[in-house]
Structure 1
Amino acid sequence: MARQDAATAKHSRRPRSRPLKGEETEVKHIVETQNLSPAQARELVRRYGNDWRKIEEAAKTYKGDD
């Protein structure tokens, strides 16, 4: 359990400058399914991680801005 806590703390220290492994796959999926730009999709992944419900809700607001 301590190992998991240490890993979580390690990732929460500072914002990521590079995508995590698999993040680009998630971005591509969001671009294809939500009809957003790659930059918008990356922002959603960075902001919400893998919380797909929040990503879908936020994607709707991006679509409304068009």
Structure 2
Amino acid sequence: MSRLTWQKSSFSGGGNGDCVELATDPDGNVHLRESDHPTDVLTLTPARLRALVQCVKSGGLG
């Protein structure tokens, strides 16, 4: 994986280490990681990310 520039989510907590970070690659994929586990990266297409966010917002993950 090429070097990515990570951006902390504006919804992440302040200073507690509970940060969600995002990065995009030249192919348009979106990469997500938890700052406590930076080597665990979830890679999604923009369409899959939209579906994940919609599922989380609707409570679909229980």
Fold shared per TM-score above 0.5: no
Which bin holds the TM-score, normalised by the shorter protein?
under 0.3
Structure number with the higher strand fraction is 2
Structure number with the higher helix fraction is 1
Relative to the length of structure 2, the TM-score reads 0.27
Relative to the length of structure 1, the TM-score reads 0.26
